[in-house]
Structure 1
Amino acid sequence: MTFSRLQRFFWICAGTPLVMIEKYPTEYSKYSGIGATILFTALFAGLSGGYALYFVFAGSPFAELWSVLFGLLWGLAIFNLDRYIVSSIKKSSKGLKQFYQASPRLVFAVLIALVIARPLELKIFDKEIHEQLRARYLSDQKERIAKVQDSFRQKYALELAQIKTYQEEYDGLSHEVNRLREELKEEVFGSRTSTTSGVEGYGTYAKNKEQVVMVKQARIEFLASKLASLQEFMNQQKAVEGINNQMMLSDELLDRKAAHAGFADRNWALGELTHSSNDVSRSSADAIFFITLLFIAFECAPLIVKLLSDVGPSDVDIRESESRIIAQLVNPSLFSRNRLNREYRRPTSKITVPRTKRYFSNKRGAGRQG
């Protein structure tokens, strides 16, 4: 009977010897399904591993090459592990005992499914992760600017305090000089108020007010010069400390930074999507949960199929062959003695005595007679 190459390849993927499968036609479809599931799990693992490593070497000229090589290596490793896990399950046990024996393999399959699912989830939720990273980078930039400015204020606290003092005095004197100038104008024009004499002309009161205005104006000019020198000094120090270079990221820079984010940042963003309290995040969390369950079911499918299936003829054949080989290795003399008995047995008698025994018994009898 001829078999297609694809069918034989699936049988090889299932981990069961081809000789055992080919002897029993009822086993063809079962092992074809198991092998195909193992193969497609390995393909998903290769895609997942290559996509994850792509972000590790993002920006490198050989990022695509390294991701392809690692994807192939990771896919082959998962393929080998799945193939071994499925082939190591024996159908000799019954009921729950068989599930107890397979439980470590099931746990290992779940872990493999979680590792495979995470990078693919990152790709599925790429747009949501991009927006989450934009918000994080913008927040980080604000915090960074605030920390730099706070450090600068602590370092130059004395100069900033002087600037504040001079500025407050300058503002107060400017307001007072403006008020005195209005009073001087009213005094000259003879307007009578609580602060003017009401006598028109440039008299004694007007001269006194003008003198006060000139003194305060001189103080204002002095304060202005001090403020200018201090401001110039602080601007120079800001340039030295790099304060002037601290600016908010533009939309273009945010998009570029989010597009080249590493695996850790993207994994963090996906975790934030699942732990936030808004409706969009809850919906994303549910989707991620069901995708993970899908991969767990997909990874455990070959194990579950083999556990739930009845004992097939290939399973019985494999068990008996293993038992016979083990018995022969443990006590090879047993098989040699049986072959010797079969060789010297008389075909006409029901119970025969080996010639070796007859020979030794005759020899012992002759010795007694002598």
Structure 2
Amino acid sequence: MLKRFFLLCSGVDSDIVNSCSNGEQNKYAGIGATVFFTAVMAFIAGSYALYTVFDNLYTAIFFGLIWGFLIFNLDRFIVSTIKKRDSFLDEFIQASPRIVLAIIIAIVISKPLEIKIFEKEINTVLLKEKNELAIANKNQVTNYFKGDVTKNQAEIDSLKSSIAKKEKEVSALYNSYITEAEGSAGTKKMGKGPIYKEKRAAHDLAAKQLDSLKISNAKIIADKETRAKTLQTDLDKKVTEGQPIIDSFDGLMARINALGKLPWMPSFFIMLLFLAIETSPIFAKLLSPKGEYDLKQEDQEMGIKSVLSQNRYQSELQKKTDAEIYDKVYADIRDDKEIYNYKKKGAIELLKLQADGFVDKQKKSM
């Protein structure tokens, strides 16, 4: 039962192969098994690749089955259409397009499995890339808000600086009238004289101006600090909004690119393994000598060609004979006086009708 299934997978003619020896049947059963298991590997690889795309198990399995059947049909077609010839070069030229197709199929099948085999290493590469993307995203968003944040902070610093400058002025006026009262500076006269009162009045005025400035600037600074918090909140929100996109950066293309950043040798040998599996049925047929199945298939094809050639010859001969017969028939008819007189009579009647019609048209136009 299993042997018949693998023979079916190899694409051989069941009537011919059943009449062959057991060894010949085993050879094609082996080729069919290779075709079948390649399709199984294609199903697994395709399902995994599509799972990374759709993130749904049932959808991935459904399309993976379609992919597996497609590869199975292609491999079966490739193997079944390679026929043994008398020259190896002719066989190789015949098989070369199929070998190219087999190489493409092997690469396509191996890539998703390589991604699964090196999944941990790929995840490490993706984590590094995600961190770099997160930093780049944060820097980009920060640069976007940088102008507003810098301007707002500069205005806050300017307001605080004006208060500090006024405080410094008030402090200087305070020291001035105190030292005047002590007699250690100014007029050098101790006591609260006119100069003292003048300096004290200047200090009190500056102190009132400072209090007024603090009150007015405090409200503005509070608004600016609130805006600074709003800008920071917006910045953090922008960074947070971009994070899910960065976290989902692990699709099929990202994993293929990450695989390309790993050492190429292990991946290359896995691809070679699948290439060997995929092309082995083709090279098995190319390298093996003509077997019993090939001879019987060739004999059957020769019989069909013989029948077709004979039918074509008979058809051409019949057409040639019919042409000669009809040539002779029409030659005899041409010499027949009765037919000649009949046709002459009809032609004369036709000419008379045409002449009468012409005269009628001329009369109407006059």
TM score, norm. by length of structure 2:
0.69
Aligned counterparts of 1:98 and 1:205: Cα–Cα separation in 2: 118
The structure with the largest helix share of the pair is: 2
Aligned to 1:315: 294
Aligned counterparts of 1:288 and 1:26: Cα–Cα separation in 2: 37
Q: Which runs of 5+ in 2 are unaligned?
A: 315-366
- Residue 171 of structure 2 aligns to a residue whose secondary structure is helix
1:287 counterpart = 2:266: yes
Q: 2:167 aligns with which of 168, 177, 190?
A: 177
Aligned to 1:32: 29
Number of corresponding residues: 308
**Within 5 A, what are the aligned runs for 1:173-252?**
173-174=163-164, 177=167, 181=171, 184=174, 188=178, 203=196, 207=200, 208=202, 211-212=205-206, 215-216=209-210, 218-233=212-227, 235=229, 242-247=234-239
Q: CA deviation at 1:111?
A: 1.0
Cα deviation code 1:4-52 (max 9, x no counterpart): x222222221111233334133323322321111111000011111112
Q: CA deviation at 1:184?
A: 4.2
Q: CA deviation at 1:133?
A: 3.1
Aligned counterparts of 1:65 and 1:153: Cα–Cα separation in 2: 47
Q: CA deviation at 1:318?
A: 1.0
Q: 1:47 aligns with which of 37, 44, 47?
A: 44
**Within 5 A, what are the aligned runs for 1:265-304?**
265-275=251-261, 281=262, 283=263, 285-304=264-283
Q: CA deviation at 1:173?
A: 4.3
Q: Contact 1:181/1:213 (CA < 8 Å) preserved in 2?
A: no
Cα deviation code 1:221-262 (max 9, x no counterpart): 4333222223335655776xx445234599xx87x975x666
Query: Max radius of gyration: which structure?
Result: 2
Q: Contact 2:141/2:239 (CA < 8 Å) preserved in 1?
A: no
Q: Which runs of 5+ in 1 are unaligned?
A: 276-280, 336-370
TM score, norm. by length of structure 1:
0.69
**Within 5 A, what are the aligned runs for 1:93-132?**
93-132=86-125
Range that drifts further, 203-212 or 308-317: 203-212
Aligned to 1:18: 14
Aligned counterparts of 1:49 and 1:195: Cα–Cα separation in 2: 94
Amino acid at match of 2:99: L
- Residue 90 of structure 1 aligns to a residue whose secondary structure is coil
Cα deviation code 1:315-356 (max 9, x no counterpart): 122112112112212323779xxxxxxxxxxxxxxxxxxxxx
In structure 2, the CA distance between the partners of 1:147 and 1:206, relative to structure 1 (3 Å rule), is same
Percent of pairs with identical residues: 29
Q: Contact 1:92/1:319 (CA < 8 Å) preserved in 2?
A: no
Aligned counterparts of 2:218 and 2:312: Cα–Cα separation in 1: 114
- Residue 77 of structure 1 aligns to a residue whose secondary structure is helix
Q: CA deviation at 1:81?
A: 0.8
Aligned counterparts of 1:317 and 1:76: Cα–Cα separation in 2: 30
In structure 2, the CA distance between the partners of 1:200 and 1:98, relative to structure 1 (3 Å rule), is farther
Q: Contact 1:45/1:116 (CA < 8 Å) preserved in 2?
A: yes
Q: Contact 2:42/2:68 (CA < 8 Å) preserved in 1?
A: yes
Q: Contact 1:14/1:38 (CA < 8 Å) preserved in 2?
A: yes
Q: 1:76 aligns with which of 64, 69, 72?
A: 69
Q: 2:303 aligns with which of 300, 324, 327?
A: 324
Range that drifts further, 40-49 or 325-334: 325-334
- Residue 238 of structure 2 aligns to a residue whose secondary structure is coil
Aligned counterparts of 1:331 and 1:199: Cα–Cα separation in 2: 147
Aligned to 1:346: none
